């Protein structure tokens, strides 16, 4: 199309065409930049999401690891362990009781074992070896076995009155004399602490003394000091 001067006046005239081309180029560049920016944003979002997921996965694995290291208590096992511990303590207590030394009668020692020396006897009015321990106690006081064993004799001795003798094995025997009565018979098996009789008045050889138990210990037929066998 030509104007009155004879020049082209259309939109695609030289100047307009240049402007249009420049505008299209700018639009393309702008669109490209927007697309690139949008894509970059998507990539960053995906990377951020991936990082979050990785961190969550790491936390989950850490929790699992911590959980696996927590000891699990087996109630049945704990109960069995408690029962076993109680049984062991009971056994240890019984063993300790077995090791405790007990005197054959409750009272004070009024005449001790003389060892290799001599002691004065008021009844016989002379010095004699005393191979026993005399424990003062009222008549009728309980007399008990110092160790478990078997009754090998219940005799009425001419010198020391009613006497019970126990055998404990290993050559050890114990003698309980000057009794008022015996609670056991020959052949009876007794446990440590069992009653075997009661304290009597004075025997023939110790009639001048107060009521007491005359106690002897023999090892392989020889009288020994009871203090060397029991912690009295």
Distance CA 105, CA 115 (A): 21
Q: Burial-class residue 37 by CB neighbours within 10 Å (0-12, 13-18, 19+).
A: exposed
Domains of the chain as residue ranges with CATH: 108-228 (2.70.70.10)
Mean pLDDT over 5-19 rounds to 56
Nearest to 220 by CA among 171, 148, 160, 186: 171
Rounded Cα–Cα distance for residues 126 and 106 (Å): 28
Segment 96-143, tens digit of pLDDT: 445 689 999 999 999 999 988 898 888 888 898 999 999 999 999 999
How far apart (Å, rounded) are the C-alpha atoms in residues 133 and 227?
A: 9
Query: pLDDT exceeding 70 applies to what percent of the chain?
Result: 59
Alpha-carbon distance values, 4 to 8, 15, 49 (Å): 10, 19, 67
Q: How does pLDDT run across 67-95, given as a tens digit for each residue? A: 445 455 555 555 555 555 555 654 554 45
pLDDT confidence of 7, banded at 50, 70, 90? very low
What is the number of helices (H) and of strands (E) in the chain?
2, 12
In this prediction the pTM is: 0.59
């Amino acid at each position: 199309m030509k104007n009155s001067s004879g020049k082209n006046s259309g939109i695609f005239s030289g100047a307009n065409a240049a402007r249009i081309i420049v505008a299209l180029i700018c639009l393309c560049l702008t669109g490209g930049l927007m697309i690139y920016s949008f894509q970059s944003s998507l990539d960053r979002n995906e990377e951020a999401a991936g990082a979050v997921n990785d961190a969550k996965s790491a936390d989950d694995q850490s929790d699992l690891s911590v959980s696996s290291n927590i000891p699990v208590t087996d109630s049945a096992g704990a109960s069995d362990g408690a029962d076993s511990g109680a049984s062991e303590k009971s056994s240890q207590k019984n063993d300790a009781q077995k090791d405790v030394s007990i005197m054959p009668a409750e009272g004070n020692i009024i005449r001790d074992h003389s060892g290799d020396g001599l002691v004065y006897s008021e009844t016989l009015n002379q010095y004699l070896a005393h191979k026993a321990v005399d424990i003062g106690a009222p008549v009728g006081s309980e007399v008990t076995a110092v160790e478990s064993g078997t009754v090998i004799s219940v005799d009425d001795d001419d010198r020391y009155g009613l006497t019970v003798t126990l055998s404990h094995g290993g050559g050890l025997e114990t003698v309980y004399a000057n009794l008022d009565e015996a609670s056991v018979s020959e052949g009876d098996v007794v446990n440590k602490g069992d009653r075997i009789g009661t304290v009597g008045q004075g025997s023939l050889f110790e009639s001048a003394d107060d009521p007491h138990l005359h106690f002897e210990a023999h090892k392989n037929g020889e009288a020994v000091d009871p203090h060397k066998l029991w912690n009295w």
